[in-house]
Each structure stands twice: as structure tokens, then as C-alpha cells.
Amino acid sequence: MPSAIDIANRALLQMGARANISSFSEGSTESNAVSILYQPTFEQLARSAHWNCLRAQAGLSLLKAAQATPENPLGTTLPLPPQPWLYEYLYPVNCLKLRYILPTFSTATTAGSVPMTTVNNLSMTSYPSSIGQLPFAVNYDTDTSGNPYVGILANTSGAQAVYTVNQPNPQIWDSQFQAGFVAALAAFLIPALAMNLSMLKMQVASADRIISGARVSDGNEFYAVQDHTPDWISARGGGSGMSQAFWNAGYDEMAWPVVT
């Protein structure tokens, strides 16, 4: 599997550099540029599409709960979240982009039940149609000592987050993300090392094509709800409300070097 140095050298080769690097700290012009641009380029690219190789899912740590919730029935057990939200959770420390929120699903039966089939009897028999539609908001907050933190506001008990993980180690990247990162890093290195406008335009176009392909893959693979409210019902204010906002975080655009 490639190392970060291997990926960096691919980017240098792609943008026409005449030298490779052996470490980020060797002190050469190329290594100095790569060491500065590597992490911010990764973070931008990771947020530009829902890359499967960077998908993580984890239960969230509860920080606050509204009064009359099971976790805070009298409003004295936990601090209260901002209204009108019911819960506030701690933003995962390794999260680059929160994609959507899931509840903790209850099992269909209890342990020890006699299985009716060969299928796992402890798993759910069906999944809710609200995956990706649970409202959430990311917010700044402070603890009781005034220390700042990032929180997630939601109306779901036992919330789980599906998010893009901050993992710049290329050994876990798939080939599509590797190609996208090489093209993106090369684009950011051109102003620092070459100042070749035509090459910069070519690299930006190449990276954008890879990102667009990743977005198409995400659209094809993401859980989709088939329910549809006809236009004539929506126009009269009826229907199931499926046409409302889809609480699945979109993509961020890359802030490329200026191309004129």
C-alpha cells in the first residue's frame, strides 16, 4: 500500500516537478510545499464527496437533554440544550464532516428467544424510512468551566453519527480517492512550485472529474426512499412530507487556486 510520501511524489510527478522527496521534513523546496499543503488538501477533498473509504459510524456522547426526556426527566440531571432541540451530543474528535444522524435501533426480539428461521432473530425485521432525514445541527458551545467544544443538536435519543473520518493515512484510501488526492495536491502545488497557468487549469479539471465521479457513486449507493408525493398533492399542501428538506449533509466545493 502507498505511503504519504508515495502519494506526495505522485503529485509532484503529475505537476511536472523534477525532484522527488524522501520525507516531509528534508528541507527541500518541494518537501516544504508538500508538508504545508498535504493536510489542508486532504481535508478539503474529504469533504467534497461522501467517499466510502472515509465513512465512519459511531455512537455519540450525550452532553445535554431537555427537561421531560427520559435522560433528564426533572431537568436537573443534565444541562439543558438550546431550544427547541431535545439533545446535544459531543462532536466526534475525528470527524471532518457530519453526514447524517441515525437512531440506535432496537432489536426485534430479546436474547434467548427461539429462532423462527435461520436468520439472526436479534436483528431488526425492517428499517425505518427516515434514514438521512433526522434533523440535526452542528453548534459551538461551552462546558461549565467555559471551555469551548463543538456539539451536535438532535431530537433523537441514543443518536449515532455517520461521518467522514479524518484519516490522512493513504493505506486505507481506495483507488478513486488516491487519484483524486494526487490530482488535487498537484493542483495546489503548481502555484507554489511552477506557476504554470495552463497546467493548473488541467489539474483542477482532472480533480473535478474525479470528485464528480465520486458524487455519482455516492448517489448510486446511498440508501434511497422510494416514497413520492405527486405534484398535484404537494401543491395542495398534502402528502407525506417526503419532499421536505433531506437531512443528509451535502458536499463542499473545493477552494481551488484562482484560475483566470
pLDDT (tens digit, 9 = 90+) per residue, 207-232? 999 999 988 877 666 554 444 455 55
* Three cell numbers written together for 114: 427461539
Q: pLDDT tens across 4-14, in order?
A: 999 999 999 99
- Do residues 226 and 49 make contact, with C-beta atoms less than 8 angstroms apart? no
Q: pLDDT tens across 172-218, in order?
A: 999 999 999 999 999 999 999 988 889 999 999 999 999 999 888 77
- Do residues 126 and 55 make contact, with C-beta atoms less than 8 angstroms apart? no
Q: How confident is the model at residue 129 (pLDDT cuts 50, 70, 90)?
A: low
- 65-76 exposure pattern, b = at least 16 Cβ within 10 A, e = fewer: bbeebeebeeee
- Do residues 129 and 122 make contact, with C-beta atoms less than 8 angstroms apart? no
Q: Are strands 136-142 and 95-102 parallel, antiparallel or unpaired?
A: unpaired
Residue 253: its pLDDT value, please? 93
- Do residues 257 and 33 make contact, with C-beta atoms less than 8 angstroms apart? no
| Other Cβ atoms closer than 10 A to 17 | 20
Q: How confident is the model at residue 98 (pLDDT cuts 50, 70, 90)?
A: very high
What does pTM read for this prediction? 0.81
Rounded to an integer, the average pLDDT of 43-71 is 96
| Other Cβ atoms closer than 10 A to 143 | 10
Residue 87: its pLDDT value, please? 98
113, amino acid identity: S
**Whole-angstrom distance, CA of residue 222 vs CA of residue 166:** 21
